[in-house]
Amino acid sequence: MQRLVIPLDERSYPILIGPRLITPEHILPYLGKGPVLVVSNETVAPLYLQAVLAALEDHPHSQLVLPDGEQWKTLATWERILQHLAEMGATRDCTLIALGGGVIGDMTGFAAAAYMRGVRFVQIPTTLLAQVDASVGGKTGVNLPAGKNLVGAFHQPAAVLIDTDTLNTLPQREFLAGLAEVVKYGLIRDAEFFSWLETNQDRLLQREADALAFAIHRSCANKAEVVAADEREQGNRALLNLGHTFGHAIETATGYTRYLHGEAVAIGMCLAAAFSEYAGLARPPLFTRTRDLLQGLGLPTTPPEDVPAATLAAHMRLDKKNLQDRLRLILLREIGDAFIDDHYNESQIIEFLQGHAG
């Protein structure tokens, strides 16, 4: 087992990474004195809920199994968690455990942030994306009809328990989407890791345990440093959004049905790399290395042909991170060196997208 710490003074917490972590030894130390509510969904609960409940031994607990899917990441589902806590008579010393992917993690974390103005919670992420990104760093929340993650809170967990065995049941497409976020860390701040990914892509695709454990650890270590330096995204935490402005526009333009988030981010990272070269901010082979690694990992790398450049650019303009008419983009100087840029406007993006053959 590997252990990392997110250093945030009194809110510091450990991330444990390894197989067979759903045990009393690894869970009990992070619980408060009060009752525990384990929140999961209809897909993950049949696989891992019994193991978590068994690990709680005689600690008083309850369980809530929610429907599966991003469409359920709503205020109404969040309220169900809060109602359940109230009906259990949960007091301020209770603990929530989020058992599932990023949807369950974000919603359970947000319930923990709000119940009695904040109670303890533990993340047991079961998708690769949640293990390397969503469970770490304390961003919690739900969607509104007007947009994703529009309501939420920063609320750090008491621990993140990454049981790598849970990846054995993850569908291939979800697994690959998680790898996109792994590549992101190499691109934004860890060139050595990017090279390691280029060399070890086949081992990752085979889900070789050692390679996966290394990639998860290195991703979390990178995220830990970024979050420790900028917990509330006043500055460089925004670098974690590399590929997301293009990616969100692609998800929105295709109605959130065609691409998984990580797939859209993979395309978005290719576009960010291509745009960086196009704008003279970076030199080749930044784009080809980015595209080749993502393609090698089975991810899409070109924007959908049926979405006009103007539509994508219009969705990008509506991104909540923008300042007036300037788009806020995360761009690259080279592999491992990302920066925040707000020099470009919608028409420049359209011109680039129209000329970008992929």
**Interface map 91-130 toward ligand NAD (x if CB under 6 A):** ---------xxxxx-x-------------------xx-xx
CB closer to ligand NAD, 160 vs 282: 160
Which residue(s) pair with 37 in the sheet?
Answer: 62, 96
Q: How far is the CB of 76 from ligand NAD (least distance, A)?
A: 15
Q: Are 236 and 137 in contact (CB under 8 A)?
A: no
| CA 14 – CA 252 distance, rounded (Å) | 35
How would DSSP label each residue in 15-58? EEEESS--SHHHHGGG--SS-EEEEEETTTIIIIIHHHHHHTTT
**Interface map 39-68 toward ligand NAD (x if CB under 6 A):** --x-xx--x--------------------x
Q: Which of residues 220-259 bind ligand GLY (CB under 6 A)?
A: 233, 237, 240
Q: What is the 3-state secondary structure (H, E, C) of 227-288?
A: HHHCCCCCCHHHHHHCCHHHHHHHHHHCCCCCCCHHHHHHHHHHHHHHHHHHCCCCCCCHHH
Interaction between residue 133 and ligand GLY (CB under 6 A)? yes
Q: Are 304 and 250 in contact (CB under 8 A)?
A: yes
State the binding partner of 103 from ligand GLY, ligand NAD, none, CB within 5 to 8 A by kind.
ligand NAD
Q: How far is the CB of 136 from ligand GLY (least distance, A)?
A: 7
- Type of residue numbered 250: I
Collapsing DSSP to helix, strand or coil, 134 comes out as: helix
Q: How far is the CB of 182 from ligand GLY (least distance, A)?
A: 13
CB closer to ligand GLY, 237 vs 291: 237
The arrangement of strands across the sheet holding 36-41 comes to 2-6, 13-18, 159-163, 120-125, 95-100, 36-41, 61-66
Stretch of 65-73, 131-139, 293-301, 326-334 lying at the interface with ligand GLY (CB under 6 A): 131-139
Structural tokens at position 100: 């599932």
Among 8, 65, 70, 281, binds ligand NAD (CB under 6 A): 70
- Residues annotated as catalytic (active site), given as ranges: 117, 139, 181, 223, 233, 237, 241, 244, 248, 261
Which residues here bind ligand NAD, judged by CB under 6 A?
41, 43-44, 47, 68, 70, 73, 100-104, 106, 126-127, 129-130, 133-134, 137, 139, 148-149, 166, 169-170, 174, 261
